[in-house]
Structure 1
């Protein structure tokens, strides 16, 4: 970054001398280039010192501290998420799990010392399942089941229970979506998991833990991977994941979730089971068990409207209502949509209205959005997890989530499955715009502000320096030229903008003040000679004061931005909204820093001709515009790409302009769930339902 600012300064000096037709402008150009090169060399050296001083030596103690920090972060993350999903309200559903068929499981002696073929456990007794998992030879478990059967919920319960009873030195369970694993690019599960930890838990990159604890923890096998959603990737990828796990897990533990049929096919195609893993599957909830659960969540004397539902289930028949309530998803839908004033739960048992289980489930999905929006009014308290920050129309929520569901689902994979279940905001442009359309949108977004800023700034300078007519013409010519340059730069760099991943900025001062002060001192020491040199070459009247102001600005701005990029060891986990905000903060900081330095330089120089206040105003306008252009063409540009995509999708009325705040509200409403920095629909079946509702009609 120092070299970028120094290069900008160098160009400013050279252009100023050429425009003023100074007899020694070639010398100025040479000196300017020398400044830029020297600044880059000094910056590299200081950066080396900063990195060496900031990141301490990696010792068993620092790795242990990182493991404890990760355990704290994961615990806080899933305590919050479990509350939003109401997993403990009032108790977990009593789903019974049993060992699956021998055909999908390894030899018994590799799996468990007890070799108990009749093992079973219940979700409402998660402590017993966690204790059994620890007794397995390698603590490996595959959780199978049909859609809505509670696979992911069991994985979350195990993460929380393993953390609650974890002893020092035991691996930390971390739940991640398996859909992002490219086994060709990263065949080793631990390397891939390290990258997931880096993105989802920025604190692991803090100097407190050596700067790269995410790699140290996976290297030392202090992480227990909990991989969710193997069934959500194409069949060839499932087989590749299974082979990669067997090849790279070593003696490490694992929890893996997958639908039964998809896992059976993966085992068949791989001609191998997951080594040393127990495989369990759920039993359907009986109608009587479903009735007992609903009775437990209703008042001690159930409202009369519920009696028909309870009687229908207690009779033990095979009605559509009983079939829907045979899964935790169906039971949750019945409870969520009907336990409200004015509801008529008795209508759910009417086979004339709902002749099949699929029809009844579709009806419940249709009710879910309006019910939750009505039940959870907005609040200004961000700590209230169950209420959104803004008021939303249910029809808008349904339309926007429907479009999002379709974006994630289409195009279908080769075996007819939705493309993905994970919404990563930094991939929005890649998932919704063709490269050509994205380039055109990005160019238009860059050209307009660049043209206006350069036209106004140069026009003002020209008007005061050589006359209004010449100033306007010159401003127009410069504006058109800079629009062409800006458009070309954005067009050429759009491919990287299209593929950028999130970066990080942390403005928390707690425990980081010494690091900030040290960084500022070093950058100011670099900025002062640059600023003084610029001042003496540019013709600023008070060269000492001008140089000091410019040098201090360069040093402070660069030092602050580079400090902000260093995560704090006390930071939280990376939720979708916090990752988005952190990347936005870094991009705005970088744009503002370039804009401030360039604006101050141009303002001081042009102020000689048109007055310092007006010169500074025009300089800052020009500088901030160049800073904006830097955000589009520089490094770490996930947020600008997201910004371009959301503007385009909002114009098409497919998604709201303020997409991430809306998704945060949808998460608070219980319509979405968060897995690290990713959003998913509350249930995969809910995503499929919305995607089907918003498919365009067939011609």
Structure 2
């Protein structure tokens, strides 16, 4: 799936050159080669690596994640039934100070991969019996204090004959090795090198139509100035991939790159041109049309938020962190009150004296309505914890709700599926409780009040009870916080009304990549560029 969305083999894979890094390697035996094309030389890298432990390092844009994905795919194609299964695991979600490597891998298999369909115990057995070959992508994406801890955890956790692949930016890997005092044992380190100009020209030729001459000026420039700014840019795999995507359309003119004077400006131009190229025009199966202007504004907002949070993973259950905790509680309080108000108003409007000897109870009901709304809002706003708020409301208003609620199974394979699962778990208890009370009331009152009046009373009971319980459930629900956050930000134009559809669409277009229930920008540089534009006020 990711190979297709990222166009890593569309129609040919990027060339990825490497060289042995003897200063960072700690292997005990010789390799069959010390340089070459990664995918050609190491179709099965463990056939030539003495230990089966490989670290790929390189500067930003050198193709580390692309190499990890393509290498995982090649290993899957070439493995035998007795070899471990390679699994790509982005490292950004791992905290080695609180979770062992084995437990984290089990969690990733359980949450992000199809193992959830056959049980968590299966994932634990696969890891315990060394039937998983972890492809750990992005040591550099961990916070600096955790990188050395991750290498130490790797050293302690991998058995003597265990194998793994890991990627990292070279500077971050070097500093982590220095912090630990020694490189990981029996590990071969390969540095991803810039491509040759001939590699770039050959790749451009393979990715164009026979009569397409638009790339010829670029090819001539690469041959004439192999050390010029354009050559230094396009020999970086990421920039070459961006250029091919941006100028894929017959109406695009890659020769405009020749007019850009320096390497940094070419980088900025390619990163800025990516979104318009992917969004205009591009047919989508979704009914909602996301224009390039609006898509860029929304993606810029998301990138700025991720940069502020110092993370690369966008998960729907963390969307509420766009707001400070106090502001989030205030918004939830208002929305809880708005949701419960209709039910309480119905109680007030339908409350009438039973006969002339009874006083009119509507003023009393009105007072109770106001008190109930105030209690709901204050409980939500003042509570520092969603669970604490739910416990307070459960004890005071509907203790039966907690018996109906069950934890949501985290084993989902997509963001939309996990959101739907949490939404079902949130809405089911209020609906069941409202339906049960309505059925009981209708059955009890039919003999005395008649069928029509009893059905009307049951319907009102269902509406009132369901609205009240939904309002009280909102604060404790991840999907409730998500809905409130998206609603408020959509009203302000900072996010689309249907955020999940937009993220799915961005993933299909290749703007985002997806790991289980989390989204990431396809490259950290794209997130950083968009965040800088948000900071400068120029989305």
When normalised by structure 2's length, the TM-score is: 0.89
**Residue pairs, 1:69-80, within 5 angstroms:** 80=1
Partner residue in 1 for 2:333: 443
Partners of 2:389 and 2:353 in 1: CA distance: 44
> In 1, distance between residues paired with 2:346 and 2:382?
26
Summarize deviations over 1:369-409 as a string: whole Å, max 9, x none: 12211231223xxxxxxxx5521111111110001001001
> SS of 2:385's equivalent?
helix
1:580-624 CA distance string (max 9 Å, x none): 333333333344333333443455567766921211221111222
Aligned counterpart, 1:496: 386
Choose which of 247, 268, 276 in structure 2 pairs with 1:362: 268
Match for residue 515 of structure 1?
A: none
Change (3 A) 1:338 1:566: closer
CA distance in structure 1 between the aligned counterparts of 2:443 and 2:105, rounded to whole angstroms: 50
Distance 1:143 1:593, change over 3 A: farther
Partner Cα distance (2:383, 2:81) in 1: 48
Cα distance in 1 for residues equivalent to 2:472 and 2:438: 14
Determine the structure 2 residue equivalent to 1:32: none
| Residue 464 (structure 1) shift | 6.4
Residue 502 of structure 2 is aligned to residue 674 of structure 1: no
Distance in structure 2 (CA, Å) of the matches to 1:399 and 1:217: 43
5+ long unaligned stretches in structure 2: 391-400
Match of 1:581 among 420, 426, 435: 420
Q: How does 1:407-446 map to 2 (within 5 A)?
A: 407-410=305-308, 419-430=310-321, 432-446=322-336
Measured at CA, do residues 257 and 613 of structure 1 come closer, stay the same or move farther in structure 2, by a change above 3 Å?
Answer: same
Relative to structure 1, the CA distance from residue 593 to residue 225 in structure 2 (aligned partners, 3 Å threshold; closer, same or farther) is farther
Q: Is the 8 A contact 2:315 2:519 kept in 1?
A: yes
What's the C-alpha RMSD, in Å, of the aligned pairs? 3.0
User: Structure 1 residue aligned with 2:208, among 298, 304, 319?
Assistant: 298
Contact 1:459 1:475 in 2 (8 A): no
- Residue 442 and residue 154 in structure 1: after superposition, are their counterparts in 2 closer, same or farther (change >3 A)? same
- Hey, what's the Cα distance between the residues in 1 that align with 2:232 and 2:359? 80
**Mapping for residues 632-671 of structure 1, pairs under 5 Å:** 632=474, 637-671=477-511
Partner of 2:398: none
Which residue of 53, 66, 85 maps to 2:6? 85
Match of residue 264 from structure 1: 174
Q: Is 1:120 matched with 2:35? A: yes
Equivalence for 2:523: 683
- 1:131-170 superposed matches below 5 A: 131-134=44-47, 136-170=49-83
Cα distance, 1:566 vs structure 2: 7.0
* 3-state SS in 2 of match to 1:423: coil
**CA contact under 8 A between 2:204 and 2:215: conserved in structure 1?**
no
Match for residue 213 of structure 1 among 122, 130, 148? 122
1:627 offset after TM fit, Å?
A: 3.6
Q: Deviations over 1:155-192 (max 9, x none)?
A: 11122122223333432222222122122221x10012
2:434 to 585, 588, 595: 595
Choose from 435, 455, 458 the match for 1:613.
455
Match of residue 396 from structure 2? none
Contact 1:632 1:640 in 2 (8 A): yes
Structure 1 residues 222 and 295, CA, compared in 2 at 3 Å: closer, same or farther?
same
How far apart, in 2, do the equivalents of 1:389 and 1:226 lie? 37
1:189 maps to what in 2? Answer: 101
1:237 aligns with 2:143: no
Query: 1:697, CA displacement in angstroms?
Result: 5.5
1:199-210 matches, within 5 Å, as: 199-201=111-113, 204-205=115-116, 209=119
Does the CA contact (< 8 Å) of 1:599 and 1:624 recur in 2? no
Q: Deviations over 1:296-354 (max 9, x none)?
A: 11112323x3321121123243222212101111111211111213222111112xxx1
State the alpha-carbon separation in 2 of the partners of residues 497 and 642 from structure 1. Answer: 16
In the alignment, the residues of structure 1 paired with residue 243 and residue 360 of structure 2 have an alpha-carbon distance, to the nearest angstrom, of 74
Name the SS for the 1:88 alignment partner: coil
Tell whether the 8 Å contact from 2:194 to 2:236 is kept in structure 1 after alignment: yes
Q: Distance in 2 between matches of 1:214 and 1:343?
A: 48
Cα distance in 1 between the residues matched to 2:501 and 2:193: 39
Structure 1 CA distance, aligned partners of 2:359 and 2:301? 51
2: CA distance, partners of 1:162 / 1:493: 50
Q: Is the 8 A contact 1:121 1:129 kept in 2?
A: no
Cross-structure match for 1:332: 241
Given the alignment of the two structures, is residue 226 of structure 1 paired with residue 135 of structure 2, yes or no?
Answer: yes
Alignment check: 8 A CA contact 2:15 2:37 kept: yes
Contact 1:592–1:624, Cα closer than 8 Å, also in 2: yes
Task: List per-residue Cα deviations over 1:48-71 (Å, max 9, x = no partner).
Answer: xxxxxxxxxxxxxxxxxxxxxxxx
CA distance in 1, matches of 2:127, 2:437: 44
User: What secondary structure is seen at the aligned counterpart in 2 of 1:279?
Assistant: strand
Q: Name the TM-score, length of structure 1 as normaliser.
A: 0.69
Whether the 8 Å CA contact 1:459–1:476 is kept in 2: the answer is no
How far does residue 679 in structure 1 lie from its aligned partner after superposition? Answer: 0.8
Give how far 1:152 is off: 0.5
Q: Are the counterparts in 2 of residues 667 and 674 from structure 1 also a CA contact under 8 Å?
A: yes
CA apart distance, 1:690: 0.7
Instruction: Compute the displacement of 1:138 (Å).
Output: 4.4
The alignment of Structure 1 onto Structure 2 pairs a total of residues equal to 522
Q: Say if 1:455 and 1:478, in contact at 8 Å, map to a contact too.
A: no
C-alpha separation in 1, matches of 2:221 and 2:158: 48
Taking a change above 3 Å as real, the CA distance of residues 316 and 579 of structure 1, as seen in their structure-2 partners, is farther
